[in-house]
């Protein structure tokens, strides 16, 4: 018998309101059917009272900014006003009013973003990254589930990770929530458009006019294209402004981007021939890192690693729409998108120019930097790596940017980079991580970036691609038709 059945409704509501977090509310509702009924009746009141105790005022503003982000087509000024209000932390707080719909929307955004964060934590702290990142989250459409594969994955790498968002420290929790919400805001602000940009040759190291060989960072992802400090420019100078503009803060956004990219890799793997999964293993140490592009779909010339990064740049709206839809819809959608793309490089917001994101060769770790992030920079020394270097992939998939504490299983702690580097440079055994040989080679590669002329290079486009671009320029289109049809808020 449910003991709460003897308590008056008013007292049951008081019990729910007194709980510390919404997760505590869910737990008591799971245990007591009568409390679940009471929560359904008093949901708005409970959320209004409990939510401010669970998230900081800054995270609350981030949630509101995502939930109330304006429609994008032709609303550049409105988006700017929205971000300016967010930067001043003056977005209207629905928790102070009586708009039940707005309060429930805010709760839904928070719940869904926590789903993705917990999934990321479970993967990043597992022993075998390749197996853990091949999984699909519990909310994926049932057609993605593969009984044989999932049974094998569960035997090799249990799905229950060692930690969740409720188990990390308050500082780490704040950092994870901020990174995931800021990533979504940046994707909504700077998402790919049907553009036809002109690149400066001084930004490209290996352009061939006839063959159009694109540089590695432009070919693989948006990491070297987008301005990852976009949101910081809207925020007012404050006590923690220095922290928000530090490299590790941008690292956290890159970690989220890597995670979303990996979700597409897992979906593509399951949309392929089942035998494809069994035999297509990455040509790298299995347990160290997961390469999503190993399991790409054959959708044309754009079935390359950067294509996954391009999809990830649409944020959680697109990945949630695809992962909750039947897997049979992936191939038609990706084929159509491939036909709409106008050139073989990440497409971007007007005004942005390819600018490979990299750290100063004289970077000095700061005492306020998260512990694992600080250790990582000591590990790589002053080497200036490509944004998509394999070592950075490992860094992002392990969530090293977020943690002060050690949540990793044996064998997955530092200095894993040395083990990785030993494999990658096995043809030159004397080249160890941080050696002068490797540093010199990388520095020479980056020096070539500045040896080009500043001429501009045009890239050809066909009639249909030109029509799509022109419709965007005239304000008639804001996105690719194949994507626009799928973009719905991920919390709905």
Q: What would the pLDDT profile of 105-152 be if each residue is shown by its tens digit?
A: 999 999 999 999 999 998 888 877 878 888 889 899 998 887 777 777
Do 4 and 153 share a domain, yes or no?
Answer: no
Q: Pick the residue with more confidence: 158 or 278? A: 158
| Same domain as 145, residue 46 | no
Q: pTM for this one?
A: 0.77
Q: Mean of the per-residue pLDDT values for the chain? A: 69
Under the banding of pLDDT at 50, 70 and 90, the label for residue 464 is low
In a shared domain, residues 412 and 303: yes
For residue 385 the two structure tokens come to 């790596």
Q: How confident is the model at residue 472 (pLDDT cuts 50, 70, 90)?
A: low
- Assess if residue 69 is contained within a domain: no
Q: Are residues 188 and 323 in the same domain?
A: yes
Say if residue 147 is in the same domain as residue 29: no
Domain membership flag for residue 428: yes
Does residue 289 sit within a domain?
A: yes
Average pLDDT, stretch 215-240?
58
Residue 73 within any structural domain of the chain: no
Query: 359 and 457 share a domain?
Result: yes
| Residue 443 in domain | yes
Range of the domain at 477: 122-492
Task: Say yes or no: 235 and 311 in one domain.
Answer: yes
What own/partner pairs with CB < 8 Å and gap ≥ 24 does 296-303 have?
296/265, 296/268, 297/268, 297/271, 297/272, 297/330, 297/331, 297/334, 299/331, 299/334, 299/335, 299/337, 299/338, 300/335, 300/338, 300/339, 301/338, 301/344, 302/337, 302/338, 302/341, 302/344, 303/338
Number of Cβ atoms within 10 Å of the Cβ of 46: 21
Residue 193 — pLDDT band, cuts 50, 70, 90?
Answer: low
| 246 vs 234 pLDDT, higher one | 234
Q: For residue 55, which of 44, 47, 67 has the smallest C-alpha distance?
A: 47
Query: Which pair of tokens denotes residue 153?
Result: 């994955």
Confidence of residue 344 (pLDDT cuts 50, 70, 90): very low
Residue where a domain terminates, one of 36, 54, 72? 54
* Residue 68 confidence class, pLDDT cut points 50, 70, 90: very high
- Please spell the DSSP secondary structure of 105-118, one letter per residue: HHHHHHHHHHHHHH
Whether 108 maps to a domain, the answer reads: no
Percent of the chain at pLDDT > 70 equals 55
| pLDDT at residue 185, as a whole number | 92
Residues 176 and 269 in one domain: yes
Q: What is the pLDDT at residue 113?
A: 96
Are 46 and 130 contained in the same domain? Answer: no
Location of structure tokens 């301005």: 227
Domain count, the chain: 2
The 8-class DSSP code of residue 412 comes to: S
- Do 432 and 292 share a domain, yes or no? yes
Mean pLDDT within 305-325: 84
Q: How far apart are the first and last CA of the chain?
A: 35
pLDDT category at 448 given cuts 50, 70, 90 is: very low
Are 36 and 126 found together in one domain?
no
Per residue in 245-294, pLDDT (tens digit) is: 566 677 888 889 989 988 988 888 787 655 555 444 444 444 566 766 66
pLDDT value for 306:
64
Residue 486, in any domain of the structure: yes
- Omega cis (within 30) before 415: yes
Q: Examine residue 61 and state whether it is found in any structural domain, yes or no.
A: no
Q: What is the predicted pLDDT for the residue at 253? A: 87
Q: Please give the pLDDT value at position 63.
A: 94
Q: Which residue has the higher pLDDT, 325 or 462?
A: 325
Same domain, 350 and 476: yes
C-alpha distances in Å from residue 293, one per residue of 224, 364, 454:
18, 33, 33
What confidence score (pLDDT) does residue 303 get? 45
């Amino acid at each position: 018998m449910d003991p709460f059945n003897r308590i008056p409704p008013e007292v049951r509501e008081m019990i729910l309101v007194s709980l510390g977090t919404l997760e505590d509310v869910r737990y008591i509702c799971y245990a007591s059917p009568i409390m679940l009924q009471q929560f359904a009746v008093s949901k708005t009141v409970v959320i209004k009272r409990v939510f401010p105790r669970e998230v900081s005022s800054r995270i609350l503003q981030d949630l509101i900014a995502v939930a109330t982000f304006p429609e994008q087509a032709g609303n550049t000024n409105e988006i700017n006003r929205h971000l300016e209000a967010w930067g001043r932390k003056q977005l209207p707080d629905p928790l102070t009013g009586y708009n039940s719909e707005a309060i429930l929307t805010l709760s839904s955004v928070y719940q869904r973003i926590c789903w993705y964060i917990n999934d990321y934590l479970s993967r990043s702290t597992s022993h075998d990254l390749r197996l853990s990142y091949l999984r699909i989250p519990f909310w994926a459409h049932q057609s993605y589930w593969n009984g044989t594969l999932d049974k094998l994955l569960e035997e090799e790498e249990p799905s229950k990770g060692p930690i969740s968002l409720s188990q990390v420290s308050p500082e780490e929790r704040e950092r994870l929530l901020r990174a995931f919400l800021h990533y979504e805001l940046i994707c909504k602000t700077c998402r790919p458009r049907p553009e036809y940009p002109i690149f400066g040759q001084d930004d490209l190291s290996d352009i061939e006019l006839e063959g159009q060989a694109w540089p590695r960072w432009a070919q693989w992802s948006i990491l070297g294209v987008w301005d990852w400090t976009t949101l910081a420019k809207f925020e007012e100078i404050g006590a923690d402004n220095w922290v928000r503009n530090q490299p590790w803060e941008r690292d956290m956004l890159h970690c989220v981007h890597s995670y979303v990219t990996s979700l597409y890799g897992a979906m593509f793997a399951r949309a392929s021939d089942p035998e494809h999964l069994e035999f297509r293993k990455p040509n790298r140490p299995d347990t160290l890192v997961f390469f999503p592009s190993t399991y790409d779909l054959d959708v044309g010339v754009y079935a390359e690693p950067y294509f996954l990064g391009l999809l990830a740049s649409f944020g959680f709206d697109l990945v949630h729409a695809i992962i909750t839809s039947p897997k049979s819809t992936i191939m038609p959608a990706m084929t159509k998108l491939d036909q709409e793309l106008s050139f073989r490089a990440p497409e971007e917001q007007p005004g942005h120019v390819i600018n490979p994101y990299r750290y100063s060769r004289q970077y000095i770790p700061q005492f306020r930097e998260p512990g694992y992030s600080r250790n990582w920079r000591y590990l790589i020394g002053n080497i200036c790596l490509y944004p998509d270097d394999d070592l950075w992939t490992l860094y992002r998939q392990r969530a090293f940017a977020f943690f002060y504490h050690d949540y990793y299983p044996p064998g997955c702690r530092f200095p894993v980079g040395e083990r990785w580097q030993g494999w990658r440079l096995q043809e030159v055994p004397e080249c160890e991580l941080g050696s002068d040989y490797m540093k010199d080679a990388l520095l020479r590669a980056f020096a070539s970036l500045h040896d080009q002329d500043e001429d501009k290079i045009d890239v050809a486009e066909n009639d249909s691609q030109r029509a799509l671009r022109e419709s965007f320029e005239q304000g008639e289109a804001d996105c690719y038709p194949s994507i626009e049809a799928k973009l719905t808020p991920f919390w709905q």
